[in-house]
Every structure is written in C-alpha cells, then in structure tokens.
Chain A
Amino acid sequence: MKRTFRFASAGGLLALAVSLALQPQTSQAREAQAILKETCMACHTPEGENALSRISHQRKTPEGWLMSIARMQTMHQLKISDEDRRTLVKYLADNQGLAPSETDGVRYALERRLNTVEQFDDQTKQMCGRCHSGARVALQRRPAQEWERLVNFHLGQWPSLEYQALSRDRDWFDLARKEMVPLLAKRYPLDSKAWADWQKSMPKAEALVGDWSFSGHLPGKGELNGVMKVTAAEGDHFTLSVDGQYVDGSPFKGQGTAILYSGYEWRGNVDIDGVKMRQVFAANGAQLKGRMFEAAHDERGLDFIAARQDHPQLLAVQPGYLKAGSETEVSLIGSGLNGTPSFGKGVEVVKVLEQSPQRVRVLLKAAADAPAGLREVSVGALKGQQLAVYRDIAEVKVVPAFSVARIGDNGGATPKVQGRFDAEAWGRSAEGKAYRIGVFPAQWKVEPFDDRAREDEDVKFAGSMQTDAGVFTPGDAGPNPERKMSTNNAGNLKVIAAVDDAGKAHTGEGHLIVTVQRWNNPPIP
C-alpha cells in the first residue's frame, strides 16, 4: 500500500519534469502576475506592490520553481493548469532566478549527473545532503527567515526526520535553526551582486538563434559531432534541428524544441532517432554547454558542447590522442575552422582528408621520438584544445570510479537504471607527470566487490555487463526467491576494464553499487 503511493507520487513528479522542458506557449497565455494573484494569493499574502509572502523572497532555477509549484499541487491541493504553471516557472526563473555564477559547481544536479560525489562541508552533508543532494540547497537563494521556514517545513512535513541516523544523535531542530539557517543565509543570500548585474546584462533569447556546431561524448558509445540549427519561436522558445553522427558513422539526427530561462538556462526536448532526449545547457555568449540525456533513462546521456557558427571556436579533438610512432585519423570540431591545424613538434599532418568550417579531418603521424604528454592544438588563431601523445599507457581508470545502478522493471513502474562506464587511459610524461590520454575501447566485466558480495553471489544476480562496452544492465526489481532470504537483486560489484595496448593489457577498476529503485525522483535530485 505504501509502495502504491510512492509509485504514484514518483510518477507524478516525473510527469511534471517532462512538462518543464516545453510545449510552445500559446498566445492566450495569461500574464504571470494575473496567475500569481488569482492562483497563489489564496494562501500567499500580498506584500506591497506585486509581492507575495514566501514567493517573493526566494530565487531558484527553473527546476527549483517547478518543484515548488508541484509540491503545492501534490501536498496542498493547488489547482493550476499546465499552461499556467509553465508561465509561472518562466516568469519566476526570469525574474527570481540564479545568475550563471551562482550555479557554477552545482550544475551536475540540473544535468542529472547522479553519480557525482558531492563536495560539501560535513555539516551541510549531514544536515541536508543526508536525504537529498547538497546541490538542491546550493541552487536556492533565501534570506534567513525563508531558510528558517524551510527548516520548519522539513520537520513538519517529515516528522520522522529527527529520528533518523545523523539526526537522532543530535538536537537536529536546534542545530538546523541556530547553525544551518545563519550559515545558509550567508552562503546563499537572497540579494547578490551577481544576480543584480546579470539582470542588467542578461542577453536576449534571439542571440542564440543560428547554426551551432556541436561535439559530444556518450559513455559506452563514443564521440559524436554535428550541427544543430536553432530558429526562433515565440516567447524565448526555439525550434531545433539536429544533424550529426557518432564516430562509428551511426546517425544522431532529430527535431525538437527548446526554451531559454533566466537568459542562459537552455532546456530542450529533442527526438533523436526515435528516442526522446532532454537538453540541459548553460548558454554563455556563443557557446552552449551541458548534458543531453534520454528522457526515460537519464543515465544515458552525453557531455555536450556547441559553438555558434558565426563565432569561431575550437571545441574538440576527436579522438584526442595519438601513439608515438603511429598514424591515425583525427577530427577537429568547432566553428569557423579555417587553415591547416597544427599539433606541435613531432606530430605531422600527413593529409587533410576533409575541411569545413565545422570539421577538419586529418591524417596525423606522430614521430617515434615525439615527446609524450599533452600539446596545444591550433587552427589558425583558434586554440584551447589538446592532443595527447603517448608511448605507453601507464594506468587505466574506470570512469565514473564510483557509481550506482538500480534494479527495476519486472512489472513495476520504475525502469532499470544502467551503469555506464568509460575506460580512461592515463600516461606519464618524461617529467613523470600523469596526464589523461583519453577514452579507449576495453573489455568489460564485473566481480564481487568483497567477500560478502562473493558469498551472496552478487555477480550472478545483480545484472550483466556488456563485454565490449561499459554498459551494465541491472537485474529485475522485487524479491528474488532464488536468492538467500528472497532478497532483491542488489549487489556490490567491482567494474573491471581491460585495455589492450599493443598486446599489453592494462586493467582499471571501479566500484558499482546495484541498489533499489529511486522512488522519489524530482527534477533536482
């Protein structure tokens, strides 16, 4: 019974997340101020001109505002149409959002990089990050009174909170009010120069219209590049057309729409070869950067960077490495690429195979005595990317080093969450300095992480690893009668990648926890 409710609410939040990223606004959209008055004023008290209690004293990301309104719907019986909610999220994110610098370092949460190991002080980790990401806190701005009300909301809504581990050993409520509130008010204040400045200089959405050259990397699949055409639609909306390919030649093509919040928060919905994908990017002048992931499987996503074509930039070198004494094809991705690229001493461009403003494909040869290490790549005046020349692989790292996959499906409402891995080779320069060579093909397997995992046969039950790609698919959800005590298919595994370097095998190891479903899955984890 308990589960049924959780399924329902998780499903509800997912549905809400879907709606954040778009649907074109109709011209009949009501003014945000009218909606605030007619819909929100039922509970929120008017305060002076166009201000309402609580709402007017917070700043948040679009996802943050969406979650607040969604909570009013699920917990306080707020009735609001999807269209009005979209109008409000847009208005609030534009007028009470965060400056780009205020989301620095915590964008991983918006980008749904759920394997991030967060870096916060111990108190914030224990008082806040124990239940949700620290980023969820860091992506809000409030004065002390609003932080205090947030503390009261937490304990009022979840009375068991002060009985849990890392709460029941301390006077949680007192600490939250007396220590966390002042700390948060100081660290994440409502008023900031960054936001005041950004509001004055915030670019218009039209600045993002045009053709964008992009580069990406999908763990378990490889690098890709292409062109995304962006045309303007009404009200900071765009329509998109994506035309690209992976390095193996498979297509990456599709159509979609996007919206711009707060002058830089790009959120897109694109259908790529029949798969719905989301875009969470930050626009910075003529660059878009972030992550693009499958709507139903946010673990399947790619690092994405794009350059507007009227603004020359060098975005990527694919692949970004070359073995001393060998020849290989390398593509430079960017915008306004012009001229023969230069790779520094000991690396010769044998032939330019293809040349366009977005892509230069060359055959490269590294001399046998070319110094191992990273070198600057340039095309004309453009710089900013590196090529690694290596002689031997010194070490292989599994990336991410620590990750979580989740059992799912099997008749339940929650899909499986895969593990997605890359094998990253590292070299050592003549000076003994470690440097990243790049992502290599590898042979993959999992092993028990410890004796307990061996005894419980976690390798047999927790799921399976694709041998030629770092893709781990977890087992079915629910109790498994074949396991000891009918336990579920959770497991504690080592992820092992073996990279072959001219007949010499190098292995790297990561740690994968296979655990239960994420029942509560709001847009900001």
Chain B
Amino acid sequence: MLQTATRGLAAILVLGACSGPLLADEGKALNRGHEYMVTTNYPNNLHILDLATDSLYKTCQMPDAFGPGTVQLSPDRTIAYVLNNHYADIYGVELDTCKQVFHASITQQPGEKARSMFSFTVSHDGKELYTVANPTRMLNDRYEVQQPRLDVYATNAGMSAKPVRSFPAPRQLTIMQTGDDGSLYIAGPDIYKVNVQTGKFDVLVPSRHWKRPLYSAPDVLYVWNQQTYRHDFSLLYTAAKFKDKKEDPATADYVYGFFNIDLATGKTKTVDFGPLTEIYFSGMVSPKDPNLVFGVLNRLAKYDIKQKKMLQAATLDHSYYCISFNKAGSKIYLAGTFNDVAIFDAESLKPLGKIKLPGGDMAITTAQVFTR
C-alpha cells in the first residue's frame, strides 16, 4: 500500500513537472484591444490565436470529449462557451486563465438523455445562456422522444447550472443569436424571434414556409453559429427558381442566398447572391463591403451580391468548413477539418499562410474572431 501510494505521488510530481510550462501558458492573459481567434479541435483543445502575428497564443484544455466544439463568446469577449462532449454539455472557459467558470448539462430532467444540435448562445448582456435541448426519456425497455425545450441559464450559476426558465420549443432547431433588445433569434424550420421571458416563438423569417413565387422551399443546413463584426445573424440557403408554374426541376435555375438579421435593429433580409454551382458549408458578408459575400468548402469564393455573380474563387489545399474575417475585413481565416487555419487576402484571395494547431481535426467547429 505504502509503495503504491509513494509511486502514485511520484507520478503526480512528474506529471506536475511536465505540465508546468503548459499551465503557465494557460494563464497568459489576453491583451485589451488585440484581435484574436478562438477555435477548437481534437482531443479537446480550445486554441486562442493572436491575429497580430497570426500565430498560436495559447491553448486551453477542456474536459470531457470533443464535439462539436462550437464556440460562443460572452459580449465582453472574456469567456468562451463551448458546446462539447458529443453535444451533451456546455462549458464556459475564462480566456485569460483557461479556468472553467460555467457548466451546464443539456440533460436536465431525471431519466432523460438530451442533446443540443449547435443550439446555444449568450444573451446580449452576458447574464444568460440559452440552449435548445432535444430530450429523450430513456425508459427500461423503450425510448420516448420528448418535445424540445428552450432552457435559460444564468451565466453566473457555476459548474452545475440549472435552468432558471424552460419553455417548450419546436423541433429541428439549430443555431441562435441574441439581438440588442434581448430578443432571441433561433433558426429551424423557419427563423423564430423568441421572447426569452415568456417563451413565445414567432416566425420572423419564413424559411421552409416562405412564399416566394416560383421558388422551391429552401434547403438550409447551417450549423456555424458565427458572431460577426457586422453584428448580424446569417445563414446560407439554396433553392430552385422555376421557369414557370409547372415547377420543373430540370429547367429550374438553382440559387444560393442568405437569410440575415441585423442584431442591432432586428431588420431581416432574404437575399439571393448567385447561382448554385458548388456547395459552401459556411459563408459571411465582408465586414468592409456589404455587397460582398464569401463562401467556403472546397473553394473559397467571393460573390457580388447586387450583380448576383461569383467574382473570384481560390483553390484550397483541403476542405475548410468555417469562414471568419478580421475586423478590418482584409483577411479571411478558414477553420474546420484538419488542424490548420488558412489565411487568405480578402481582396485578392491569395493565400497568406497557415497557422498549424496542436492536436487533431477541428471537424465541425465554429471558430470566432474577436477584439478583446
């Protein structure tokens, strides 16, 4: 027993020695006014990149298993909330210290197993965290799928947060952002404006149920919950635009477009920006020029929104899923899949370099660029 205990202690000491430099690094505070990017990858890292030098600033280790690794930042950009552990838990990590300051399990009711499908964000004042749980009751010999619910947590609730309010929610909900007036915008079959006090869901932007003459219903698979410098909430869609009332898919034009909600004013837009010629996982309007939208998957492409045409496309070394801009709108940062962030000049679409990350695949992460 004594021997075992001693060996155990020795092991701890050795471990401590190894992780010393790492811990010191984790405690490195971010600098006010500097611009950073956060992204996540396997096995379970939260990386902070310094965009002044385009290099890795530090890495925070996160608990549990990785996936999807979606990041939402507090409004003061001091805490990164990460949906992780196979869509089952949200952790809040203080960026200056890498310290965990918040944890909520998506599973809340006795006997249920719940997952959140990319569906969470922080309120405009940073005091509340919203998430949609898709629960299933796990009975002895069967499952019962339950109605999804919108759970509201206080961000100061610590490491075993319980919802302060819960409301029934529609099925198939995904990403969300909050407006400056406290409204919550959630994407799903349509885009809803939700009153977080009453739990009332109103259709703000019809999507599956839009009434655009000669258009098919749009297809929307958008799970990149980006917090943009334009301060908007945006999702790409594709749709068929038919020639006539016969609605023949063979002769239809296929278009790319985006839904957009201005988070300051609540104003909405549904905009076709070009013909559908290739798939983009994520897209973003330039922070500098509201007439330019960029999309990425197998290529990085730039579109003129007014002219509805592709201006230019850059080839990529491999697929990237998640696009971000720096504040000036001069550089594009591509994350998702593999473990490098590719940097492109937003004007010329020329590659500017890569930031290699420790660890593995970023998979379906949502990275965020922000100024501290």
Q: Which residues of A contact B (CB under 8 A)?
A: 1-2, 43-45, 53-54, 149, 152-153, 155-157, 159-160, 162-163, 165, 168-169, 171-173, 479, 485-487
Residues of A within 8 A of B48 (CB): none
Q: Which residue of B42, B136, B141, B360 contacts A45 across the interface (Cβ within 8 Å)?
A: B141
Is B220 within 8 A of A152, CB to CB?
A: no
Q: Which 8 A-B pairs have the closest CB atoms?
A: A156-B136, A156-B143, A159-B115, A43-B140, A152-B143, A155-B145, A149-B142, A152-B145
B134-161 CB contact bits vs A (8 Å, 1 = yes)? 1010101111110000000000000000
Q: How far is the CA of A168 from the CA of B217 in the complex (A)?
A: 11
The answer to whether B318 has its CB under 8 Å from any CB of chain A is yes
Contact of A165 with B221 at beta-carbon distance under 8 Å, contacts A149-B143, A485-B318, A486-B317 already known: yes
Size class of the B contact interface (CB-based, 8 Å)? 35 or more
Q: Are A485 and B117 in contact (CB under 8 A)?
A: no
Q: Does B113 contact A (CB under 8 A)?
A: yes
Q: Is the CB of A168 within 8 A of B298?
A: no
Chain B positions near chain A (C-beta within 8 angstroms): 42-43, 65-67, 87, 113, 115, 117, 134, 136, 138, 140-145, 171-172, 174, 189, 208, 217, 219-221, 298, 315-319, 360-361, 363
| Cross-chain contact of A486 among B117, B141, B217, B318 (Cβ < 8 A) | B318
Are B317 and A152 touching (Cβ within 8 A)?
no
B362 to chain A, nearest CB (A): 12
16 A-B contact pairs sorted by A residue (CB < 8 Å): A149-B142, A152-B136, A152-B142, A152-B144, A152-B145, A153-B143, A159-B115, A159-B117, A162-B172, A163-B221, A168-B219, A168-B220, A172-B172, A173-B171, A485-B318, A486-B318
User: Would you call B174 and A156 a contact (CB within 8 A)?
Assistant: no
CA distance A149 to B143 in the complex (A): 7
Task: State whether B42 touches A156 (Cβ < 8 A).
Answer: no
Q: How far is the CA of A169 from the CA of B217 in the complex (A)?
A: 8
Q: Which residues of the other chain, B, contact A171 by a CB distance below 8 angstroms? A: 171-172, 189
**Which residues of B are found within 8 Å of A165, using beta-carbon distances?**
219, 221
Please name the residue on chain B nearest to A155 by beta carbon. Answer: B145
Least distance between B143 CB and chain A CB atoms (Å): 4
Most chain B CB atoms below 10 A, which of A1, A45, A159, A485: A159
Check if A163 sits within 8 Å of B117, measured CB to CB. Answer: yes
Complex interface: chain A residues within 8 A of B143 (CB) = 149, 152-153, 156-157
CB distance from A514 to the nearest CB of B (A): 19
Contact yes or no, A44 B117, CB < 8 A: no
**How near does chain A come to B260, taking the closest CB pair, in angstroms?**
20
Bound together, the chains give a CA A151 to CA B144 distance in angstroms of 9
Q: Which residue of A lies closest to B87 (CB)?
A: A159
- Asked if residues A156 and B220 are in contact (CB atoms below 8 Å), the reply is no
By the criterion CB–CB under 8 Å, are A169 and B43 in contact? no
Question: Looking at the complex, which one of A53, A157, A162 makes contact with B141 (CB distance below 8 Å)?
Answer: A53
Chain B residues near A486 (CB, 8 Å)? 317-318
